Structure 1
């Protein structure tokens, strides 16, 4: 019995080791699974028919091309797995997704379960309202209904903000960012709290963009990064090295400009969000610090 248990433990250990050796998994299978989002602003979104685009999609595609070259693979098949705010971490943990290229904030709690590549984008969490609402600050949300997306940290950040003291509001949740914006658009919510670029992107695609505006205080400054499995240093190094090289050559800045400043498909609208000083600082000093490190500044 003891020998059987030891043998089983050995098999499980080998299985776990393989699960954590993503480079070996990719080389052996000739395939990789990229976690993508349906509507995460210019970072990651779908054009329909299984086609996904955006800043993080393009960055990940370039990272995987470098990894393909590193592994000496003649061909590498990329499979796309749509993920949500609720399931993205479990799908990375269990091996369904090898590299998550969405809009995930790097924080200390998540670092216990997954790893993050060096920061590629620094987000500012903001409040979107209808232009004629009269709402211009957190203090005016008392008695209002605030929408956010299930599985995100935005409303928590709103409640913790120093200017939210004594502000009482009702929460409603959308299943994804488009659904949350629809709550605002349809009048079921008075405000939508979310990452600034996601809000700006959704407003740019609205039927009448001028009907909405981003107002009030910046609720949080958050490092957004590509997410990978924990305890896989070789894969993390490969991903980090590729991103650092893009930073060094200026390709990352050009890719950012393509998705956040220039007109993007499918409607050829512009998000109109040049790289912030915080994002430029992250590129100047590549790191995988969680949001808590930013909060100390």
Structure 2
């Protein structure tokens, strides 16, 4: 069994991120480690999602989004570290649920999908350093009478399968006796259509994904996102194989450099504070306090390491 490592701690006011290399891993049946395989085949296999705007979606028949840009930067860094002149990138379409299977079976080397952290999910895959934090909320039509979590009691609510929100709803049902009936869907787009048609009263997801769904809809003014939250902001990272600490160290090093670089503010501005082509959608989501704190902490660690090396 893999030794347990602490990925994060939530307090009432501040989320503190603690990360360390795990001390031991279960040995899987896959003989070659990720970096060795990438170097040998000169190919890296990445997973993407087509319905997670603005993180991972398809534009002009290619994967696009915030996490896609981050993955491409990590790939460039791996290419440099392995001294591979031409590194082929192979993209595999995935979903929130199938990404864990693909990573576990080594069908992909890294998932370029926002994976929100939980201890249960961490038993199935490794997480990189976070690049976003988002609370869980729900979306309804404005003419609906279910505007609070309490008013959802006894109703059927929609959740995308394989997400952290399923865990959260089961816990909420248990602790608050809400008697919620949880309906699952495999697609964010199909789930949102069920809210559009009035088939179901509410869709639970992360605030940023809900805001993206509304922005993409033909009638965004018809919908609203709850003020109440199911969770405090949760960190989102990329998924990596559990049994490859060397690959995780390399990817986390790249992620650390991305987060602390001068260009990261521009990258965030591009996807969350500026019009996104081709529909010029501006989500207008300022950088969270938790992400700013993580960047500051990561920068301090980097500076301390530089002093040690000197």
Q: CA deviation at 1:155?
A: 4.0
Q: Which residue of 108, 112, 116 maps to 1:101?
A: 112
Per-residue CA distance 1:244-280 (angstroms, 9 max, x = gap): 1112223223212211121113422122211111222
**What is the match of residue 248 of structure 1?**
260
Count the aligned residue pairs: 272
Distance (Å, rounded) in 1 between the aligned partners of 2:286 and 2:228: 19
Q: CA deviation at 1:139?
A: 0.7
**What is the match of residue 192 of structure 2?**
181
CA contact (8 A) 2:158 2:202 kept: yes
CA contact (8 A) 1:33 1:96 kept: yes
Distance (Å, rounded) in 2 between the aligned partners of 1:283 and 1:52: 26
Per-residue CA distance 1:104-160 (angstroms, 9 max, x = gap): 122222222321111111121111111221332101112333111011131431353
**What is the match of residue 61 of structure 1?**
72
Bigger relative contact order, structure 1 or 2 (CA pairs below 8 A, ≥6 apart): 1
Secondary structure at the counterpart of residue 63 of structure 1: helix
**What is the match of residue 46 of structure 2?**
34
**What is the match of residue 80 of structure 1?**
91
Distance (Å, rounded) in 2 between the aligned partners of 1:16 and 1:169: 41
Q: CA deviation at 1:204?
A: 0.3
CA contact (8 A) 2:131 2:236 kept: yes
CA 14–28 in structure 1, closer or farther in 2 if over 3 Å, else same: farther
Query: If the length of structure 2 is used for normalisation, what is the TM-score?
Result: 0.82
Distance (Å, rounded) in 2 between the aligned partners of 1:123 and 1:262: 19
Distance (Å, rounded) in 2 between the aligned partners of 1:96 and 1:163: 36
CA contact (8 A) 1:139 1:163 kept: no
CA contact (8 A) 1:81 1:97 kept: yes
Query: If the length of structure 1 is used for normalisation, what is the TM-score?
Result: 0.85
Q: Which residue of 282, 285, 288 maps to 2:294?
A: 282
Which structure is higher in helix share?
1
Q: Extract structure 1 runs of 4+ deviating beyond 6 A.
A: none
Distance (Å, rounded) in 2 between the aligned partners of 1:159 and 1:115: 23
Distance (Å, rounded) in 2 between the aligned partners of 1:108 and 1:172: 23
1:225 paired to 2:263: no
After alignment, is 55-64 or 249-258 more displaced?
Answer: 249-258
CA contact (8 A) 2:172 2:178 kept: no
Q: Which residue of 184, 187, 207 maps to 2:218?
A: 207
Distance (Å, rounded) in 1 between the aligned partners of 2:139 and 2:180: 15
CA 43–213 in structure 1, closer or farther in 2 if over 3 Å, else same: same
Per-residue CA distance 1:210-239 (angstroms, 9 max, x = gap): 111111322112111011111212211111
Distance (Å, rounded) in 2 between the aligned partners of 1:164 and 1:210: 34
Q: What are the residue-to-residue correspondences of 1:141-152 with 2, within 5 Å?
A: 141-152=152-163
Q: What are the residue-to-residue correspondences of 1:124-143 with 2, within 5 Å?
A: 124-143=135-154
Secondary structure at the counterpart of residue 234 of structure 2: strand
Unaligned runs of 5+ in 2: 1-26, 300-310
Distance (Å, rounded) in 1 between the aligned partners of 2:75 and 2:172: 39
Unaligned runs of 5+ in 1: 1-12, 288-297
Cα RMSD (Å): 2.1
Q: Which residue of 28, 31, 35 maps to 1:17?
A: 31
